[in-house]
Amino acid sequence: MLALMPSLVRTRRAAIEAYQAAHSRGAERTLCGGRSYVASFVKAAPERIEGRSKKLFMGLYRNMGHEMRSHAAIMAHREVHWLYESFGVFAEMSDASPERQHRWFDLQLDDHLSDYEGSLLVLARLTQNYVRLAENLDAPILALSETGAFEAAPPDWRQMHLSAEFVRNIPLGWAARLREWRGVYLIVDERDGARYVGSAYGAENLLGRWQEHVAGDRGITAGLAGRETRGFRFSILERLSPDMEANDVIRREHSWIARLDTIRYGLNLADQMGGVPRA
C-alpha cells in the first residue's frame, strides 16, 4: 500500500487522510505534544539513497485535536473499510481488540504551502518512528517540480498483487501498462485460497480482462460464478508479447493450468482446456 500512496492522494485523498488519523502509541504521544501543524509526506519511489527514502509532500494539516474511538468504530469508518478491503491492513494500531480505545486525530488540510503539494520531493532518513519532529528532521530537498506528481509508477509485473477494489480504481499509469500486456494471470479468492488461472489478449489485454472480472459482485466464468469478486486478488504468472496470437496465449494458459493443477485443486473447469478463443 505504501508504494501506492501518491496515486491514492490524487484519486482518493479521503482514504489517505483516514489512514493518517490513527497511529501507533508512540506517534500518538508525539501528536499530542502541542503540535499545531503536521506536514504529511508519502513515499515517492522505492529507491533508497544512503539509507534515506524519497518523500513527496502531500500537504500541511492543522492538528485540531483528537477523540477516543474503539478499534471496532475505526474499522467501521467508510474509508478505513475501503482501505482494509483493498489492501488487507490499516494503520499502525498495535492492539486490534474491538473494544480497545485509540486516539482518532482530526487533521484538517490547510491552504498554507498548497503550491508545494505533489511538487516538493525530499530525502528523509528511515526510522522506526515514522512521525518526526520538524526541529529534528534532516530532509534535504531533492526537487521542486512545476507540476504535481501524485502518481505512483507501476511496479515490475512480477510484483503486482492487486485487489478487486484496486482494479476497479486503478491509476491511469497502471491501467496504461496493463493495457499493453497480454499474459496468463492468477486469481486467488482470499477467503479460502482457491485459485483460478486465466489468460488475456485483445485490444485491452490484461486490463480489459481483469476489469471484466470485477465489473459485478459475482465471478463471470463458470468456475468463479457464485463467488464474490471483492475477495479476488490478481497477479501475473507470465507476461507475453502484445502481438502474440490468441491461440498461442491460450496454449500458455493451458500449460499453467496443468502445472498448477487448478482443475483438480482449483477453480478451472475441464472444458476450459478446449482451446476456443473468447470473443
Q: Residue 93: its pLDDT value, please?
A: 55
Mean pLDDT of 71-84: 88
Q: Residue 279: its pLDDT value, please?
A: 34
The rounded mean pLDDT for the chain is 86
- 128 has a pLDDT exceeding 70: no
pLDDT tens-digit series, residues 35-54: 899 999 988 766 677 778 88
Work out the pLDDT band at 246, boundaries 50, 70, 90. very high
Percent of the chain surpassing pLDDT 70? 88
The Cα–Cα gap between 126 and 137 comes to 11
Mean pLDDT of 206-231: 94
Q: Residue 276: its pLDDT value, please?
A: 45
Q: 177 and 154 in contact (C-beta within 8 Å)?
A: yes
Q: Residue 96: its pLDDT value, please?
A: 64
Q: Residue 278: its pLDDT value, please?
A: 45
C-alpha cell at 58: 502531500
Q: Residue 119: its pLDDT value, please?
A: 87
Q: What φ, ψ does residue 42 adopt, rounded to 5°?
A: -120, 155
What secondary structure does DSSP assign to 28-46, as a single string? HHHHTSS--EEEEEEEEEE
Buried-exposed string 194-215: b where 16+ CB fall within 10 A, e elsewhere: bbbbbbbbeebbbbbbbeebbe
Q: Which CATH class is domain 157-274?
A: alpha beta
Q: Residue 91: its pLDDT value, please?
A: 55
Q: Residue 274: its pLDDT value, please?
A: 65
- 118 has a pLDDT exceeding 80: yes
Q: Residue 263: its pLDDT value, please?
A: 95
Q: Residue 277: its pLDDT value, please?
A: 45
Question: What ranges do the domains of the chain cover?
Answer: 2-144, 157-274
Q: Residue 187: its pLDDT value, please?
A: 98
Work out the pLDDT band at 247, boundaries 50, 70, 90. very high
Lowest mean pLDDT among 23-32, 191-200, 228-237: 23-32
Q: How many CB atoms lie within 10 A of CB 267?
A: 22
> Of 251 and 131, which is predicted with more confidence?
251
